[in-house]
Chains A and B, each alone.
Chain A
Amino acid sequence: MALQDLRPMMERCSSCSGCKFIPFEKIQSVRFAENCPSIGYYNFHTYAARGRFQLSQSVLDGRTELTETVTEAIHSCTSCGLCDVTCKITRYNLEPLAHNLEQKAYAVEKGAVLPAQKTIMETLAKENSMIPGTKKKNRTDWAKDLNLKDLFKEKGEIAFFAGCKYSYDEKLQKTAQDAVRILQHAGVDLGYLGAADNCCTGRAKQMGYFKEFDKGANTNIKAFEKAGVKTIVTPCSDCYNSFKRQYAELGMEVEVLHVVEYIERLILEGKIKFSKSVPMTVTYHDPCHLGRQGEKFEAWEGIDKKIFNQIHIYEPRKPRYNGIDGVYDAPRNILKAIPGVNLVEMERIREYSWCCGAGGGCSQTLPEYSAWTAGERIAEANSTGADALVTACPWCKDNFTDAEDEDGNKMEVLDIIDLVHKAI
């Protein structure tokens, strides 16, 4: 697929503003009605899916150069996918997210990248990590005392995959360790890839580095195969999306579970029991890559054709990722099962949840914008009266932790694993 192949899509966009708001039926206030962080921060039309479609046409027709402004516009898409959900409320043949990613890939190919992206990609090439300053040799340090089987050395079928953020970020490592302990305590025979544990490269794809993603993904798929892995469990929502959607597209057939799915399963099976009350009111943030982008991949091969002269259809019908089958209930069921926890919802939830701002590499490449995006969510979380904002992704958690709303208010931020651990 190349950007030019999406030309029909670009020209069939109807300028309806659906990509600037949450689904209209879900709007409850003017304060929390908008959906796209990128246009929310930068304000120009260019930054919403509609403008992006138009920008691509102009670039392809040679009217627009990839200037610094255009480059920033392209890469400021957090690839949160909310415009994709909202556009598909009324359109069956437009896929703004696929376009946004393809637009980034085009820019990358032409060398139009952000300075911080270069550093990240150098780290990926050298150290197999998304986090500049980290070293491959330290990647599995976090797991030293956990009794995790190295699946290349010992037999096992379930691989725990922490991902770069949990592996290297000292503030977050304890959460990953607790996740492992919770699962082990429930009797799960858990292993990991040991020396073959590398970046999933999903964030590279989110930044438009498709080739680097393919390379990393194919290496990892082989490693999982070789290690005999049947199930991957990850506490990182970015990794989850990589394995469940992107790797599946490359042919990987391994079962993929986010930790919340596994914990929910273990609660239902009676293998996790809560003995302590955690008296607090919390609100839950759906990570984009676990929620609306957590739908499973479905293979499709077919054609698009027209019936009744001009009506555009796919034959056979094409899988439609519109976010509704993402992972939304598992985390909520866990929160409801924890004694003392009172869950209150924000206005933008589930498939129309606001992004934390970290996606698309933006927390590293455009930090001010990313912090603003997180601050918007803090404002929304605070408006519910909750004591804490709970999430299920290290990138989200990290981005929220120091974020402030427009009045300088902060909020306690917890990973759902932290809450589960407190209650056991």
Chain B
Amino acid sequence: MALAREVYQAFEDIVGNRNISEDIGVCETYRSIPSQTSAHYGPSKEWTPLPQAVILPGSTEEVQNIVKICNKYGIEFKAGSTFWATMAYIGGDNAVQLDMRRMKSIEIDAKNMAAVVEPFAIAGTIQAEAMKVGLNVQIPGVGCSSSTLASSSGWAGFGPASIFMGANPENLLGAEWVLPNGEILRTGSLGSGDGWFCGEGPGPSTRGILRGIFGPAGSMGVCTKIATRLHPWPGPKQFRTYGKAPAYKADFGDNFKCYTLCYPDWESWARSVQYFHESDVLYIGHRQFNMFGRNLKAFMLNIITDPEKQLSDLPELLKDPEIQKHNDNMKHDYQVVIAGMTKRDMEYKEKAIDYILEQTGGWKHEMMLEKEKHDYALAYMTRLGHKNLNYVMCGAYEGTFGLSGNVWKTIQVVEEASAQKRKWETEHTCIAATGGDSAMGGVSSLGGGGATGWEFFTNFDSYELESVQGTSDMVDENQAFHNKYAFGPDFCRWNSDVRHVNGYSYTQEEHDEMFAKAPQPWIYAYQYKIREAVNPNHLCGSYLRTLSPGKLEGK
């Protein structure tokens, strides 16, 4: 169903004819295939619905005018900034897709340690601009091609550097929102005309409503600008690298070290994490390369750090007993980066690491101390520019299980989860057999330390239906495990209550049915009221979980 001519014309009048398209070929490229990108309701082979038009606004004013037209004619809309994530795509037939790509400005406020950024400012460019003045930005685990505005205002935002820099929900200082009804809301100090320096005021703080912990995923209108907190960067003003593509390596100087720390068992692993939470030593902490799986990680590290090697070298490398030894030595591991603000600070941090290792029986992984591997890992962890390696093995992966919470809780179940995944690796062929344990995630997903957030990298082939379906079946089985330990939905199905597997939004009736039975239904009823206040025409899909208050009666 094409847009009525007057509607299309109204949009075109706002953005100009170069910035709108209803060509079917163009619109087709704004559909997501959940088997290929983080969707959290998959894996599935179904594409999200086709937008009626794609619109590229260039300013807040244009966004506001587009939203007003949408309200006038009852057209759904959704904003996406980079479209890494399936959440960014529309979920209905009568909808237009907003691609925020034209808005990408970055202003660094070095004095207030903040960056004011637009939607298509990716973390990599913000980091590059911030480093020029000795500052850094928190890059979520998805990598530096993600939109910092999206991870601050839209969805998730936790990363390896969160232990030092906090997560992006925490880093959000202020935002400019075009609400779904077309009104503009400016939060925090910005809302009182005092600039971008504080998210909580003077001025309205809507952190709990518009952002929350996971974010509204585009269901609360369009965010056009945010300020994010920046953090100290004691390194060079440019992200200095050496080496050949694809294995670029960091050349930051002596006040940076990247270690792979290993422990004899999970108990000592957890103790070390706890010590790090208490000691303020880490710049970055993440169990990163275990994403390649317990059986393959050292071998994969030998591939990705060497520009001459490729996946096809894996069978040959697997015969190398030296690498096998290294692999065996990194079973309970994580990567850390320390950054010395001064020489003494660096010495202190080195000593603190040694002390923690001594207390826990841990060690620095030898292979990862080799200069080239060290420098590669340092570049990797600092910029997160190689994050698409997530997909390198098969073309698709899903994070399964999703063990988020206290480390002591996580380590009690990690082996059981690994065994369950291993069973699927050996009894079925749908997923890559990487060794059961492929748990990857932060040493802390909160500033200063606290909860971890782990997912098991489950690699499958998005091209093969059997592989996609098999992975989905595996996730169904994982859910029983999750229910047993009260971990909530499997990571891979976090969004299964906000979008159908076929990519379409839920109706209010469907949500009512789901959430009336939820343990705390009034939360959804509260969200319903918020939505009614700012989105009376229900134009931004069903990522906001709502329950009609009438359905609460009697509870």
Contact = CB atoms under 8 A, between A and B. Distances in A.
Interface of A: 7-8, 11-18, 20-21, 23-30, 33, 43-46, 50-51, 54-55, 58-59, 63-67, 69-70, 73, 85, 88-93, 306-318, 320, 322-324, 351-352
14 contacts: A14-B37, A15-B37, A17-B82, A18-B145, A21-B124, A55-B28, A58-B25, A63-B28, A85-B245, A90-B391, A91-B388, A312-B311, A315-B312, A324-B245
B502 interface: no
Interface in B446-471: 459-464, 467
B40 to A, nearest CB: 14
B302 interface: no
Given A17-B122, A92-B310, A73 B393 contact: no
Nearest to A13: B36
Interface in B79-138: 82-84, 99, 101-102, 104-106, 121-122, 124-129
Interface string B124-162: 111111000000000000011100000000000000000
Contacts of A313: 311-312, 314-315
A307 B312 CA distance: 10
Contacts of B28: 54-55, 58, 63-64
A69 B238 CA distance: 40
A27 B393 contact: no
A25 B379 contact: yes
Interface string B283-320: 00000000000001000000000010011111100000
Q: Considering the complex of A and B, which 4 residue pairs feature the smallest CB-CB distances, nearest first?
A: A12-B395, A24-B385, A90-B388, A70-B25
Contact of A45 (B99, B127, B433, B460): B99
Contact of B23 (A7, A67, A91, A312): A67
Contacts of A309: 425, 428-433
B511 interface: no
B461 A23 contact: no
B462 A12 contact: yes
A85 B245 CA distance: 8
B430 A44 contact: no
A391 to B, nearest CB: 22
B310 A317 contact: yes
Interface in B413-430: 425, 428-430
B244 A324 contact: yes
A93 B431 CA distance: 18
Contacts of B126: 30
Contacts of A311: 311, 314, 393-394, 432, 459
A29 B312 contact: no
Contact of B128 (A15, A33, A73): A33
Contacts of B544: none
Contacts of B374: none
Nearest to A30: B125
Interface string B217-261: 000000000000000000000110100111010000000000000
A45 B462 CA distance: 21
B140 to A, nearest CB: 13
- Of A24, A307, A317, most buried by chain B (CB within 10 Å of CB) is A24
Given A21-B124, A28-B238, A313-B314, A44 B385 contact: no
Given A7-B463, A90-B391, A24 B144 contact: yes
Contacts of B11: none
Nearest to B128: A27
A66 B395 CA distance: 28
A29 B104 CA distance: 12
A11 B238 contact: no
A314 B311 CA distance: 8
Nearest to B127: A27
A381 to B, nearest CB: 19
A14 B128 contact: no
A15 B83 contact: yes
Given A307-B315, A313-B311, A12 B463 contact: yes
B500 interface: no
